[in-house]
Amino acid sequence: MKRRVLLFLLLFLLCSCGLQDKANMEEIQNEMTDTKIMNRETFTLNTTIEDVINYPGFGDYGRLIFPVNGSYYSGNTLRDLRLTWYSNIVPDTTVKVVNHLKEKADAGETVFYDIYSKEEKREDPSKKDTGLFFFKGEAGQKFAVCNAGGGMVYVGAIHDSFPHALELSERGYNAFVLIYRPGFDTAMEDLGKAISFIIDHADELEVDPNNYSLWGGSAGARMAATLGNSQHLLYYTDREDIPQAKAVIMQYTGYGEASVYDAPTYACVGTDDWIAGWETMERRLEILKTRYGIPVEFHVYEGLGHGFGLGEGTTAEGWIEDAIAFWEENVQ
């Protein structure tokens, strides 16, 4: 009887050790998998969108690189990415953007900032889907806030603001990409909060708080124009100490409001844009110029439709250089 009991105990201990060893081995394998992902040199055209979102180095903000509402984009890999209402998505540029973020995150640099506190996000869970991606330029340089469009139902930042911010940072400017809550009032509230955050943390971020610009495409252009207006800026920030933007850079939007309180405005659009007619944009800028004496610059590109982004490989390629020059001309 004693021999049977001893044999049973021995078998129990061996099985327990085996289970523990298996658990330890699985934990080691998981760690090795994470390390392998972390050490992967670059994302490629064949990298899945899911792999970018779940990249360990991005933490929780990886999900904000692409639209939170997944019904507005399609494709499995970075090569195949498509966005509703957008054209001229360049896969190589998409890969360049996510690799830039990965490189900076892997180096321990902060590439994402929350604009709302934990308490604010507890009170309003929708604010968890907001924040600023930071593309750092030269210390002490001006900054730009880039706002993507998406019809106020989603945020198409991966094509309509990330590439712009990267281009600006490569030229020495500090650039932020705002991920906001779709919807007119919430979007404006988030942009006001973002501007306030950057101004309040200008020393930490090493940015010039006085000569910034607001950029946007489509619905994001409406945001830039709205908060570029000094009266709207005051309303959405509830602060008198925040300076007005030195320039608003707008792409393809039908925004028509014009006021003496608006900022100097650069705008561009394609002739074949069925969402934002070029005549509407031209008419508004003419009012700003002739009625209110506000500096403007307007470009129309033959044959281009809505949402062409940087316009790489199109008649609009290089427009960002004109926009930067316009911004610089209006800095005093």
pLDDT tens sequence across 160-211: 999 999 999 999 999 999 999 999 999 999 999 999 999 999 999 999 999 9
Instruction: Give the pLDDT band (50/70/90) at residue 128.
Output: very high
Which own/partner pairs from 318-325 qualify as long-range (CB within 8 Å, at least 24 positions apart)? Answer: 319/268, 320/164, 320/167, 320/168, 322/266, 322/268, 322/297, 323/215, 323/249, 323/266, 323/268, 324/168, 324/171, 324/173
* pLDDT score of 312 more than 70: yes
Residue 152 is inside which H or E element, if any? none
48 exposed, middle or buried (CB, 10 Å; 0-12, 13-18, 19+)? middle
Q: What is the pTM of this model?
A: 0.88
Of the two residues 35 and 268, the one the predictor is more confident about is: 268
Q: Which domains does the chain have, with CATH numbers?
A: 111-329 (3.40.50.1820)
What average pLDDT does the segment 122-146 reach? 98
Instruction: Give the pLDDT band (50/70/90) at residue 41.
Output: confident
What average pLDDT does the segment 270-287 reach? 93
Q: What percent of the chain has pLDDT over 70?
A: 88
3-class SS of residue 121: helix
**What pLDDT was estimated at residue 155?**
98
Contacts of 318 (CB under 8 A, 6+ apart): 311
- Closest C-alpha to 94, from 70, 74, 59, 66: 66
Angle between helices 91-106 and 162-170 (to 10 degrees): 60
* pLDDT score of 35 more than 90: no
pLDDT tens sequence across 281-301: 999 999 999 999 999 999 999
**What pLDDT was estimated at residue 40?**
56
* pLDDT score of 245 more than 50: yes
11-25, 89-103, 179-193, 227-241, range with the lowest pLDDT: 11-25
- Closest C-alpha to 43, from 2, 9, 91, 7: 91
Q: What gap in Å lies between CA 156 and CA 3, rounded to an integer?
A: 71
CB 329 within 8 Å of CB 295: yes
pLDDT tens sequence across 205-225: 999 999 999 999 999 999 999
Q: Please compute Rg for the chain using Cα positions.
A: 24
Q: CA dihedral in degrees (308, 309, 310, 314; nearest 10)?
A: -10
What average pLDDT does the segment 130-141 reach? 98
Q: What gap in Å lies between CA 16 and CA 143, rounded to an integer?
A: 59
Structure tokens at 38: 């972390």
Considering Cα of 119, then 120, then 124, then 130, what sign does the dihedral take?
negative
Contacts of 323 (CB under 8 A, 6+ apart): 215, 249, 266, 268
CB 149 within 8 Å of CB 220: yes
**What pLDDT was estimated at residue 30?**
47
* pLDDT score of 114 more than 50: yes
Strands 73-74 and 112-113: unpaired
What is the C-alpha end-to-end distance of the chain, expressed in Å? 96
Mean pLDDT, rounded, of the chain: 90
- Closest C-alpha to 309, from 34, 62, 87: 87
* pLDDT score of 8 more than 70: no
CB 95 within 8 Å of CB 103: no
What average pLDDT does the segment 112-126 reach? 97
